[in-house]
Amino acid sequence: MILPRRKAANIFLSLAIVSMVALWWAAHARAQTGPWTPPYPMILSPSRALAFVQAADRKLDYVPGEVLVKFNAGVTAIGQQRALMALRSRPPVSDLRWIGDVALLNDRTESDATILAAQLSTQPEVAYAEPNYLLHANSTPNDPGFSREQWNFVAIDMPRAWDINPGGKSTVVVAVVDSGITTVNQTFTFQTWNGNAVQKGQCSVRRQSRSDG
C-alpha cells in the first residue's frame, strides 16, 4: 500500500520522536543507577535523619544507638579500644567521632543507648558515658512556681502565644481584665516586671453599685 507523501512524512516524524524519547529515557535510567554526588555537602545524612524519625516514633529522648563518651585523662587509643570491647559490637576506635574531648559513638547493632552508656560507664578508662540526648525547645517556663503561682497565664493560653512570638519586650503588656463586682474601694501597690527590671505598679479597685431593677 502506497501512503500519501504528507501522511508518510508525519508517520516518519512520529517514529523519530518516539525513538529520541526512548533513547533519552534509557540514558536517564542508566544515570540513576550509578553513584550520585550531591551538589553541596549534606548537613544531615539520610541515616541520621532516619534516627531522628525513629526517636520521635518511639518517643525517645535520645538518638538511637548514639552515646557520648568522655575518657579519663591520659587514656591512649589502646585504652579507648579496650573500653569499647565491652560492647557486643566491639567497634573500632576509628569509628569514634570527636567533638572536642568527647567522643560520639554510633552503634549500629544496639539502638538502646542507655544500655550502651551503662556498659561503657563500668570501664575504668571511661570518665562518663551517656546517651546523646535530644534538646527540645520549650516555651513554657520550667520554674516550679509558674504553674502554682502564675496559673492565670495558663488560663489565658499564654504558653501558646509564646510559641508564636517568643520575644519579650518592655512594650508588651500582659494583663488579666476582670469585670467582676467587688465591695472594695482601695488602691493596691505591687511589684511588676516591665521586661527590663522590677518596678512598682498600682491597681485601683472601685466599688460599683448594682441595681436589681
Q: What is the residue extent of each domain of the chain?
A: 47-133
Give the pLDDT score at 142.
73
Give the pLDDT score at 29.
54
Each residue's pLDDT expressed in tens, for the chain with a length of 213 residues: 444 544 444 554 455 555 555 555 555 555 455 666 766 666 677 888 888 888 888 889 999 999 999 999 999 999 999 999 999 999 999 999 999 999 999 998 999 999 999 999 999 999 999 999 998 766 677 777 777 777 777 787 777 777 776 666 667 666 666 666 666 777 877 777 766 777 777 777 666 555 444
Chain-centre distance for alpha carbon 34: 33
The fold of 47-133 is: Alpha-Beta Plaits (3.30.70)
Give the pLDDT score at 19.
57
pTM, entire model: 0.50
Give the pLDDT score at 143.
76
Give the pLDDT score at 32.
52
- The amino acid that residue 112 corresponds to is D
Give the pLDDT score at 116.
95
Give the pLDDT score at 211.
47
DSSP string of the chain, one letter each residue: -PPPHHHHHHHHHHHHHHHHHHHHHHHHHHHHHS----SS--SS-HHHHHHHHHHHHTT-SEEEEEEEEEEPTT--HHHHHHHHTTSTT---GGG-EEETTEEEEE-SS---HHHHHHHHHTSTTEEEEEEEEPP----S---HHHHHH-HHHHHTTHHHHHHH-----TT--------------EEEEEEEE-SSSEEEEEEEE--------
Give the pLDDT score at 1.
45
